[in-house]
Amino acid sequence: MVVGGASGIGRAAADRLTAAGHHVVVADVNADAARTAAAEIGGDWLYLDVTDERSVAAGFTALDDVAVVVNCAGLSMPGPIVDLELSAWQTTVDVCLTGTFLVLKHAGRRIVDGGSIVCVASLNGRQPGTGMAAYCAAKAGVLMLVEVAALELAERGVRVNAVSPGLVDTPLTEGISFIPGLREEYLENTPLGRAGTPGDVADTIAFLASPASGWMTGSAIDLNGGAHMRGYPDLLGRIKALADDDG
């Protein structure tokens, strides 16, 4: 089951897991895209909204013998803390953090003994960025949730790990190209000098889903071209510079 598998990193993970021999179910709030993705990989799809417990519970109840669960559902609603609407905070936390809790809860009930759960966290789970309060806080929470779930599910041999990507070119990050210099600042802060591809992340997800990582649980893999060793771009500074130029 790849939750959030209709786009970006999740879509690439669905490809990789199919290639590894899994029968993949694409679960997403975007039903049309999930249906299309499932048709392309020869898998199944279902509507699932990670913010709605009934939907998450129904999604897992519909499946037997789930061996691998990947949670890629996520979004970001940026803004400075002093101006951030409570609704934007709540939406981000609902999808990224509470959604991860609900997936872990219902995946934890249904997954087979010895199964593997992989959550997509973020570089922002450990590295702060201006304008990213809700996303950073939610992703830091995801990293801790993964550790707690790993402890609780270990007695059944279920492994729970995270992958923490830096900048990856997906529909989620298309907006950064509208802010002059922002992408360049990301890349200056990335020792390997390039953004990630969805396939880069999917390869690591497939590793965490496979027996090759059989002695790993409660771990988070940094996957960011080395960006965790440098600073994070100043999103709000870039937006202010853009407004000053326009004004």
**In contact, 38 and 15? CB cutoff 8 Å:** no
Q: Restricting to residues 38-57, name those near ligand NAI by CB under 6 A.
A: 48-51
Minimum distance from CB of 167 to ligand NAI (Å)? 5
Say how far apart CA 38 and CA 246 lie, in whole Å.
44
Minimum distance from CB of 38 to ligand NAI (Å)? 12
Say how far apart CA 161 and CA 148 lie, in whole Å.
11
Structure-block tokens of residue 21: 């021999």
Under rule CB under 6 A, how many of the chain's residues touch ligand NAI? 28
For ligand NAI, the closer CB: 29 or 220? 29
Say how far apart CA 117 and CA 98 lie, in whole Å.
16
- State the Cα angle at 75 between 85 and 210, rounded to 5°: 150
Q: Determine how β-strand 66-71 pairs with β-strand 111-120.
A: parallel
With contacts defined by CB under 6 A, name the span among 28-36, 77-85, 102-110, 126-134 that binds ligand NAI: 28-36
**In contact, 72 and 168? CB cutoff 8 Å:** no
For ligand NAI, the closer CB: 102 or 155? 102
Active-site choice (47, 135, 186, 232): 135
Q: Restricting to residues 78-107, name those near ligand NAI by CB under 6 A.
A: 95, 99
Site mask, ligand NAI, residues 168-187, x = CB under 6 A?
x-xxxx--------------
With contacts defined by CB under 6 A, name the span among 4-12, 17-25, 107-115, 145-153 that binds ligand NAI: 4-12
Q: Restricting to residues 105-164, name those near ligand NAI by CB under 6 A.
A: 120, 122
Q: Please report whether residue 219 would count as binding ligand NAI according to CB under 6 A.
A: no
Minimum distance from CB of 10 to ligand NAI (Å)? 5
Q: Is 135 a catalytic residue?
A: yes
Concatenating the DSSP letter of every residue in 79-105 gives: B-GGG--HHHHHHHHIIIIIHHHHHHH
Torsional sign, CA 207, 44, 50, 174: positive
For ligand NAI, the closer CB: 127 or 213? 127
- State the Cα angle at 134 between 186 and 169, rounded to 5°: 35
Structure-block tokens of residue 15: 């490809």
Residues labelled as active-site residues: 135
Residues that bind ligand NAI (CB under 6 A): 4, 6-10, 28-30, 48-51, 72-75, 95, 99, 120, 122, 165, 167-168, 170-173
